[in-house]
Structure 1
Amino acid sequence: MMALHQQLTKRRVLAILVSLSVGGLLARLVELGDRVFYYDEAWFGYWVLRFMENGVWEYRPILHGPFFARVNSVVFPVVGANDFTARVVVAGIGALLPLAAWLFREHLRRAEVVALGVALAFNPVLFYYSRFMRKDLPLAAFMLVTLGLLVRAYDTRTPRYLYASGVTLGLAFATKESVLLWLVTWLGASVLVFDRVLVRARDTDGDALTTLQSLANRAVAGVRAWWTHGVLSGVLFLAVVVYFYAPRAGPGHPIGLWKGLTGDIASLPAVVGEATLGSFQAAIEYWAEGSIQNHAYLPYFTDTAETIVAGALGVTVLAALGFLYDRYTGDSPRALVAFNFYCGVAAIVGYPLANNLPVPWSTVHAIVPLCVPAAVGGVAVYRWGRSRLPAREPAALRERAPMHVVRAAVAAGLLVFFVASAGATLAQTSYQQPHESPLGDPGHQIVYYAQAPDDLRAVVDDIDRAASTGGGETDVLYVGERLAMNETRVDYPPATGAWHARMPLPWYTEALGADVTSVERPGAVGNNTPPVVITTPALKPTVAQKLGDAYTSRTHALDDIGDRIVVVFTRADGA
């Protein structure tokens, strides 16, 4: 291990982390657009497109933060709107995540920094949800980077890290309301770490009070020396939050950020208030004070635990080993290791209580912090196995080889098992069966049950062909009370029940520029029918009779549960 440590110079460690990011980016871009959009991806993506068209936006807690509304509305006009481009920002964030390990280099051994980079780059859950248009992976990434920047500010006493942390924390707030859970978790972990410092001072010096006074004096001195930087970093944080959360004006929306900056200066206080206190109040009312979390705890915890075992067993086991190893061996347990272990455990226990549904992506918020002690645990297992190898001398080899070889084999076998199982899970969930939830066969716990099946891509292709004909005529017709609505009703959120019943198809009709209409009853279907007609199974015979032999039909499930079924009729000539 000493030889490995000597070989891993800081420059080589950084080069390895950069290589992990580059390789991770390439791996994430492979087949990035192949998986059909999941329900929420389509939901978020649709409203980004509508915002681009009408310029109106206001915060709605059910849609979480405005990160995609701001970022993807810049991406789409440049590279187009499709499944690949909608996910590419998250893929980039996931690929860059291993570089966050470099921020902790003063608190982790060089081999541990590399191990942390590997875990962040290729854990199956983190990998899968970095190829997903959801905000959980960006939130976890921004919070880890924020922690790293604060650590660097403490290590180097350099204000620029504090300023940068204000920006990354603002970006974290722009993702989703779970950032408040992160802050609560940080507070609880800090209390536990602080308590351990006082207990250690009592056991070693017999005087915890003196240590407490010393820490308080240092904190006061730090505030006095850094208060200006703290205020300025807070201003940066506030500026990011206001930019993302400020409403955008339009018909029926009298105030907006650009309107206030370019003309109506008097409205700016209202804009800032709506972006900050208004958004915070709306989030608390919806997510904390409502009835959305009124559910049994145990089934949600069981689902979380199953996802952790299925997608992060190695990280979890090694995190526990790393925490115990760092705490009970050596002379100076590291606060960073304990802090992240406490955060990860709290997320495993706490998110089932906070979730409104049993969702696998919430485990991202536990896995990211657990990667820190897991890196320590992985290197500790390696060192344990490596140090037990027999000496070169023949006498020592004869005397000590059997037990040492066994221990080395156990260490190697454990690490190889974790790496191999993670690789197999990553390949299955991200490439081989990315549509298959636990309800499928084969299926995996990482994949959510509302994921649309793979065969729905045929419907997307039908819509694409219909929209490409142009001419301003209807391309897609929905038939049936469950699917029919006034199409202008979904120019602005909230949407209708019929719109939700169509998901994820509205994302594709909007992204492909298809003209859509609907009728409640098959009798209203005219003679000049569009190339694609979508209805419910109950209406299939009537619609088939109305359309005649010119159309062929296929039945598709819109999610893996199978309770949202549509029948898609396409004109045989494809015109």
Structure 2
Amino acid sequence: MEHGAWEYRPILHGPLFARVNSLVFGVVGATDATARLVVALTGALLPLAAWLFRTRLRDAELIALGAALACNPVLVYYSRFMRKDLPLAACMLLTLGLLVRASDTRRPRYLYASAVTLGVAFATKESVLLWMVTWLGASVLVLDRHLLRARDTDGDALGAFRSLLRRAVAGARDWWHHGVLAAAVFLSVVVYFYAPRAGPGQEIGLWRALTGDFATLPAVVGEATLGSLHKAIDYWATGSIQRHAYLPYFTDTADTVIAGASGVAALAVVGFLWDRYAGAHPRGLVAFNFYCGVAALVGYPLANNFPVPWSTVHAIVPLTVPAAVGAAVVYRWGRSRLPAREPTILSEHTPMHAVRAVLAAAVLLSAVAAGGATLTETSYQAPHESPRGDPGSDVIYYAQAPADLRTVVTDIERAAASGGSDTDVLYAGAPLAMTESRVDRPPATGAWHARMPLPWYTESLDADVASVDDPTAVGDTPPPVVITTPALESQVGAAIGAGYERETHALDDIGDRTVVVFTATTE
């Protein structure tokens, strides 16, 4: 972000944070909190998306949908991460809601807004292609259900299909110019995000093309669109990502859903079945989102390159729609069994009615209580305790930095603030050594990845960093913080001498990346 050089690399996903956080950091600085600010705001505002479906859902269902989006433990937890899954799912839900509003109100502004949100969704990560596939499949199933219903009621499925086709053609005739402009808006958003930014040794870049080198503009647009799509498909679809056993990945996904979204999953089944079989008019919106959620639960274990709990976000968000219907169904079922307020003669059925009301209340309260307990544990009480910790939760990401790494960050901050040395942090040993200017433009080196997440803190704290291949070449006056590998601990310790404390720290919760940190003692 500092040097402006960027080009799309599928393993790091889309450029959303490269573009958006560049603006955020320029205004409020780069810290742990500001890095996650965009995702946190997205998660906090996500419940408002329920209002877009107000013509398709009842009031109680809207309230339940907003509550599910606001309080689900998985969605809250991954609203605290600088990951792109929550923004992607949020943008897709917004896009769907805006398209629904465009259909319901016939106002083009909703179509243009959906083009923007869909463009931002494409800027998050390649999983947006899976969303598009599930949308297509869910649409086919909803259409099939509509035609079957027409056959059973009117005996004319073909006539219903022709009617839908005529309406589609008429809509395209009336809205084609809005469709073209919306497509242009979508394309502009994608090009803005995905267009490469020229750095040292790079020939093309968006700003260079727009400020004088106009001949390179077609190449920039081509790289931002077809070039990026080709890279994404090559890496994620035709590569070796899916060459793994399916069942362990699916089991991992199921464990996360059970731990963090069992209430949503159970109520989604209730809502889908009730709306499909007991409702007077089955709603395509409910079935559509149920199909998308189930497809994500089944499909992401195949698409993932390793088991990850955050992929369940893509299933939970669409499942909240039928879950909201299910919650409203249980509520109405229980409420209808309550005795009337006016004094009446008790019938023999009244005790059973009371039991059903209590049962309905127990179902809803247990779902709320379980979700609240999990949310409190995973997001506030023990956010670092992954399934490999004790206690742990399948909701939590297993490879984040352990909490005790904060002590190293504090030492680096103290060294950077002292100003008593030309170098604040020294990496000693070949596994961690590199030419520091090498990371002025991507991609980074293996040594830089071996240091993660410490480079984030040394950069954000403006610490002066250096490194040496020889673990004994720490100088006559070593800097305040020296970092090496456990294998080189004795050599570095002997070279540093007295006056330093040493501690071993894991760089992630898995524990397979560890460093030894030597910190100068203060008198």
Measure the CA separation in 2 of the matches of 1:432 and 1:274.
Answer: 45
| Equivalent position of 1:231 in the other structure | 180
Question: Are 2:271 and 1:342 equivalent residues in the alignment?
Answer: no
Q: Describe how 1:2-21 pairs up with structure 2 within 5 A.
A: none
Match 2:431 to one of 470, 479, 482: 482
SS of the residue 1:175 aligns to: coil
Q: What letter corresponds to residue 95 of structure 1 in structure 2?
A: A
SS of the residue 2:203 aligns to: coil
| Equivalent position of 1:451 in the other structure | 400
Q: Which moved more, 1:283-292 or 1:101-110?
A: 283-292
| Equivalent position of 1:524 in the other structure | 473
> Is the Cα–Cα contact under 8 Å of residues 46 and 90 in structure 2 kept in the other structure?
yes
Match 1:211 to one of 137, 151, 160: 160
How far off its partner does 1:204 sit?
Answer: 0.7
Match 1:513 to one of 456, 462, 478: 462
SS of the residue 1:107 aligns to: coil
How far off its partner does 1:486 sit?
Answer: 2.1
Q: What letter corresponds to residue 364 of structure 2 in structure 1?
A: L
Measure the CA separation in 2 of the matches of 1:168 and 1:470.
Answer: 46
Q: What letter corresponds to residue 466 of structure 2 in structure 1?
A: T
| Equivalent position of 2:510 in the other structure | 561
How many equivalent pairs are there? 523
How far off its partner does 1:398 sit?
Answer: 4.6
Q: Describe how 1:402-551 pairs up with structure 2 within 5 A.
A: 402-470=351-419, 473-551=422-500
Q: What letter corresponds to residue 354 of structure 2 in structure 1?
A: V
Question: Are 2:261 and 1:318 equivalent residues in the alignment?
Answer: no
How far off its partner does 1:293 sit?
Answer: 1.8
Note the residue ranges of structure 1 that are not aligned, 5 or more in a row: 1-50
How far off its partner does 1:563 sit?
Answer: 1.0
| Equivalent position of 1:283 in the other structure | 232
| Equivalent position of 1:84 in the other structure | 33
Note the residue ranges of structure 2 that are not aligned, 5 or more in a row: none
Q: What letter corresponds to residue 280 of structure 2 in structure 1?
A: D
| Equivalent position of 1:20 in the other structure | none
Measure the CA separation in 2 of the matches of 1:283 and 1:120.
Answer: 30
| Equivalent position of 2:322 in the other structure | 373
| Equivalent position of 1:22 in the other structure | none
> Is the Cα–Cα contact under 8 Å of residues 296 and 314 in structure 2 kept in the other structure?
yes
How far off its partner does 1:405 sit?
Answer: 1.2
Q: What letter corresponds to residue 276 of structure 2 in structure 1?
A: R
SS of the residue 1:523 aligns to: coil
| Equivalent position of 1:160 in the other structure | 109
How far off its partner does 1:471 sit?
Answer: 6.0
How far off its partner does 1:448 sit?
Answer: 1.4
How far off its partner does 1:116 sit?
Answer: 0.4
> Is the Cα–Cα contact under 8 Å of residues 307 and 445 in structure 1 kept in the other structure?
yes
Measure the CA separation in 2 of the matches of 1:287 and 1:77.
Answer: 33
> Percent identity at matched positions?
74
Question: Are 2:121 and 1:201 equivalent residues in the alignment?
Answer: no
Q: What letter corresponds to residue 285 of structure 1 in structure 2?
A: D
How far off its partner does 1:546 sit?
Answer: 2.0
Measure the CA separation in 1 of the matches of 2:219 and 2:488.
Answer: 50
How far off its partner does 1:395 sit?
Answer: 5.2
Measure the CA separation in 1 of the matches of 2:200 and 2:421.
Answer: 25
Measure the CA separation in 1 of the matches of 2:301 and 2:440.
Answer: 34
SS of the residue 1:222 aligns to: helix
SS of the residue 1:333 aligns to: coil
Measure the CA separation in 1 of the matches of 2:421 and 2:23.
Answer: 27
Q: What letter corresponds to residue 69 of structure 1 in structure 2?
A: A
Measure the CA separation in 2 of the matches of 1:158 and 1:392.
Answer: 45
Question: Are 2:170 and 1:221 equivalent residues in the alignment?
Answer: yes
How far off its partner does 1:393 sit?
Answer: 5.8
Q: Describe how 1:257-296 pairs up with structure 2 within 5 A.
A: 257-296=206-245
Match 2:53 to one of 92, 104, 109: 104
| Equivalent position of 1:297 in the other structure | 246
Residues 471, 234 of structure 1: alpha-carbon distance in 2 compared, 3 angstrom cutoff: farther
Q: State TM-score, norm by structure 2.
A: 0.98
| Equivalent position of 1:12 in the other structure | none
> Is the Cα–Cα contact under 8 Å of residues 202 and 208 in structure 1 kept in the other structure?
yes
SS of the residue 1:377 aligns to: helix
Measure the CA separation in 2 of the matches of 1:425 and 1:397.
Answer: 41
> Is the Cα–Cα contact under 8 Å of residues 343 and 369 in structure 1 kept in the other structure?
yes
| Equivalent position of 2:16 in the other structure | 67
| Equivalent position of 1:573 in the other structure | 522
> Is the Cα–Cα contact under 8 Å of residues 85 and 311 in structure 2 kept in the other structure?
yes
SS of the residue 2:46 aligns to: helix
| Equivalent position of 1:93 in the other structure | 42
> Is the Cα–Cα contact under 8 Å of residues 473 and 495 in structure 2 kept in the other structure?
no
How far off its partner does 1:489 sit?
Answer: 2.4
Measure the CA separation in 1 of the matches of 2:134 and 2:420.
Answer: 56
| Equivalent position of 2:70 in the other structure | 121
How far off its partner does 1:480 sit?
Answer: 2.1
Q: Which moved more, 1:177-186 or 1:553-562?
A: 553-562
| Equivalent position of 2:255 in the other structure | 306
> Is the Cα–Cα contact under 8 Å of residues 115 and 185 in structure 2 kept in the other structure?
yes
Measure the CA separation in 2 of the matches of 1:249 and 1:471.
Answer: 36
Question: Are 2:333 and 1:391 equivalent residues in the alignment?
Answer: no
> Is the Cα–Cα contact under 8 Å of residues 536 and 565 in structure 1 kept in the other structure?
yes
Superposed CA offset, 1:359-410 (max 9, x none): 0000000000000000000010011111111234655435222111111111
Measure the CA separation in 1 of the matches of 2:123 and 2:343.
Answer: 63
Measure the CA separation in 2 of the matches of 1:129 and 1:398.
Answer: 51
Match 1:246 to one of 180, 195, 214: 195
Question: Are 2:81 and 1:136 equivalent residues in the alignment?
Answer: no
Measure the CA separation in 1 of the matches of 2:347 and 2:428.
Answer: 81
Superposed CA offset, 1:294-314 (max 9, x none): 111100000000000000011
SS of the residue 2:432 aligns to: coil
Measure the CA separation in 2 of the matches of 1:280 and 1:216.
Answer: 31
Q: What letter corresponds to residue 499 of structure 2 in structure 1?
A: A
SS of the residue 1:533 aligns to: strand
> Is the Cα–Cα contact under 8 Å of residues 5 and 442 in structure 2 kept in the other structure?
no
How far off its partner does 1:538 sit?
Answer: 2.1
Q: Alpha carbon RMSD of aligned pairs, Å?
A: 1.2
Question: Are 2:136 and 1:191 equivalent residues in the alignment?
Answer: no
How far off its partner does 1:541 sit?
Answer: 2.4
Q: What letter corresponds to residue 262 of structure 2 in structure 1?
A: L
Question: Are 2:312 and 1:363 equivalent residues in the alignment?
Answer: yes
Q: Describe how 1:46-57 pairs up with structure 2 within 5 A.
A: 51-52=1-2, 54-57=3-6
> Is the Cα–Cα contact under 8 Å of residues 391 and 397 in structure 1 kept in the other structure?
no
SS of the residue 1:68 aligns to: helix
> Is the Cα–Cα contact under 8 Å of residues 272 and 326 in structure 2 kept in the other structure?
yes
How far off its partner does 1:543 sit?
Answer: 1.9
Q: State TM-score, norm by structure 1.
A: 0.89
Residues 439, 231 of structure 1: alpha-carbon distance in 2 compared, 3 angstrom cutoff: same
Question: Are 2:119 and 1:170 equivalent residues in the alignment?
Answer: yes
> Is the Cα–Cα contact under 8 Å of residues 104 and 151 in structure 1 kept in the other structure?
yes
> Is the Cα–Cα contact under 8 Å of residues 253 and 301 in structure 2 kept in the other structure?
yes
> Is the Cα–Cα contact under 8 Å of residues 390 and 396 in structure 1 kept in the other structure?
no
Q: Which moved more, 1:362-371 or 1:562-571?
A: 562-571
